Amino acid sequence: MREAVDAETVSATRQLAADAQRVIVKAGTNSLTDEESNLDDEKLDKLVDDIEDLLSRGKEVLLVSSGAVGAGIGRVDHPTGTVEESQALSTVGQSHLMRRYTESFERYGRTVAQILITEHDLENPERFTNFRNTVETLLDWGVVPIINENDAVATEELQIGDNDMISSSIAIGVDVDLLVTLTDVGGVYTGNPKENPDAERIPVVGENYDEVEELVSESSTGGFGGIQTKVSGARDVSEHGIPAIIARSTEPDVLENVARAESVGTIFVPINGEVDD
């Protein structure tokens, strides 16, 4: 694989990520549920602890959280056979998920807000402006916006895994400084690390993007969208001059390590010379 970028650019990008004032953290289903697909309180509290680390540094955080369907499976004894069933499960799980986020952030005296959106809302300029105004007001108030797709009225995401794409569209539209996508593997690998023990982590994506894209396109999609939608979302963001990181949610102090400019997961270098040394 060709060299991603020179070492100086990598360390400048890590510093850019560390200095980010407004951050989107996207957490996938696997980072919030256990093996039986129930909401995992320990994982959720750990995610909130990590986000609190960023908030206590004075940063603004928007959380894009999946897990509504997963949390629903644990509440209703019903399978996810059809899209309609997944939609219904998501409506049960979403309120449970928000209850747990509310309790978990309360440990730090933080208030949270729920925003459910669809791809159509993001594509429609008037609706997107309304969305952005709401987010800006919440951030001004010090409230943590927690965003998920409104699965009851939109099914695209349940079929293709679009919380990855939704978080990248929001990152670009509300001028965030960093996108961190948390999942259950330590970044982007040369193959599916759950199936191939020889798969190696790709620490930096830059000039090597086409090769990385080709490698992940051969990987199985796993959950909703798998690694492909994360790589594609991170690429879109980096094309807007914003660094993006894909990392393992269970890594100890994962967001603190990002804020300390350490090497975490896979970092996507911003394109168009936006990195200043």
Ligand X SMILES: N[C@@H](CCC(=O)OP(=O)(O)O)C(=O)O
Ligand Y SMILES: Nc1ncnc2c1ncn2[C@@H]1O[C@H](COP(=O)(O)OP(=O)(O)O)[C@@H](O)[C@H]1O
Nearest approach in angstroms of CB 151 to ligand X is 5
**Cβ-proximal residues to 233 (8 Å cutoff; 6+ apart), any chain:** 164, 165, 167, 168, 179, 181, 244
Please report whether residue 33 would count as binding ligand X according to CB under 6 A.
no
Going by their DSSP bridges, the two strands 144-149 and 112-117 should be labelled as parallel
Nearest approach in angstroms of CB 56 to ligand X is 26
Binding map of ligand X across residues 142-181, x = CB under 6 A, - = no contact: ------xx-x-----x---xxx------------------
**Binding piece for ligand Y, criterion CB under 6 A, among 87-95, 105-113, 147-155, 214-222:** 214-222
Please report whether residue 131 would count as binding ligand Y according to CB under 6 A.
no
Please report whether residue 30 would count as binding ligand Y according to CB under 6 A.
yes
Of 119, 223, 239, 241, the one binding ligand X (CB under 6 A) is 223
How many residues interact with ligand Y (rule CB under 6 A)? Answer: 23
Closest by alpha carbon to 189, among 229, 231, 137? 231
**Binding piece for ligand Y, criterion CB under 6 A, among 12-20, 89-97, 120-128, 218-226:** 218-226
Please report whether residue 269 would count as binding ligand Y according to CB under 6 A.
no
Angle between helices 209-217 and 226-238 (to 10 degrees): 160
d(CA 238, CA 56): 26
Closest by alpha carbon to 186, among 177, 199, 172, 171? 199
Please report whether residue 128 would count as binding ligand Y according to CB under 6 A.
no
Between residues 128 and 168, which has the closer beta carbon with respect to ligand Y?
A: 168
Nearest approach in angstroms of CB 245 to ligand X is 16
d(CA 89, CA 76): 7
Please report whether residue 37 would count as binding ligand Y according to CB under 6 A.
no
d(CA 225, CA 30): 12
Q: Are 266 and 201 in contact (CB under 8 A)?
A: yes
Sheet of 244-248: strand order equals: 112-117, 144-149, 60-65, 22-27, 178-183, 244-248, 266-268, 204-205
Binding map of ligand X across residues 75-94, x = CB under 6 A, - = no contact: ---------------x----
Give 117's strand partners: 149
Stated length of the chain = 277
Please report whether residue 29 would count as binding ligand Y according to CB under 6 A.
yes
How many residues interact with ligand X (rule CB under 6 A)? Answer: 18
> Which residues would be at the binding site for ligand Y (CB under 6 A)?
28-31, 161, 183-185, 188-189, 191-194, 216, 219-220, 222-227
Task: List residues near ligand X by CB under 6 A.
Answer: 28-29, 66-70, 90, 148-149, 151, 157, 161-163, 223-225
